Amino acid sequence: MLKVMIVDNNLSCVKVLKQSLIKNGFDVIAYVEYDVHLQAKCCELEPDVVIIDTESASRDVLDNVCMITKNKTRPVVMFSQDSEKSR
């Protein structure tokens, strides 16, 4: 079972994503906000996969990806929500 860490500042989005991941056999080991030092958290928890919401305005997402993959290569999934409805 893959261990997943979700990085997002929107708790309502995290709940939906977490439920879906668990339902599909993933082990969601943590939900963290961008304010947390991601590199230290990744070293502590050692997730197999990190899922990051790119909508956070608090930090540069690419810098975070570099930080959390610096010491250990791991897949990083980045997503964003499209707030515009399709016509």
In this structure, is residue 59 part of a structural domain?
no
Beta bridge partners of 49: 4
Predicted TM-score of the model (pTM): 0.81
In this structure, is residue 40 part of a structural domain?
yes
- The C-alpha atoms of residue 63 and residue 26 are separated, in whole angstroms, by 26
**Structural domain that includes position 50:** 7-54+75-81
In this structure, is residue 28 part of a structural domain?
yes
Q: How many distinct structural domains can be found in the chain? A: 1
In this structure, is residue 68 part of a structural domain?
no
| Res 35: pLDDT | 66
Q: C-alpha distances in angstroms, 80 versus 1, 21, 32, 40, 44?
A: 25, 17, 16, 24, 26
What pLDDT, in 10s, does the model give residues 6-49? 988 888 888 989 999 999 999 999 988 876 677 888 889 999 99
pLDDT range class, residue 87, cuts 50, 70, 90: very low
Q: What is the dihedral of CA 77, 79, 67, 64, to 10 degrees?
A: -170
| Res 47: pLDDT | 93
In this structure, is residue 2 part of a structural domain?
no
In this structure, is residue 69 part of a structural domain?
no
In this structure, is residue 12 part of a structural domain?
yes
Q: C-alpha distances in angstroms, 29 versus 2, 3, 14, 82?
A: 10, 6, 12, 26
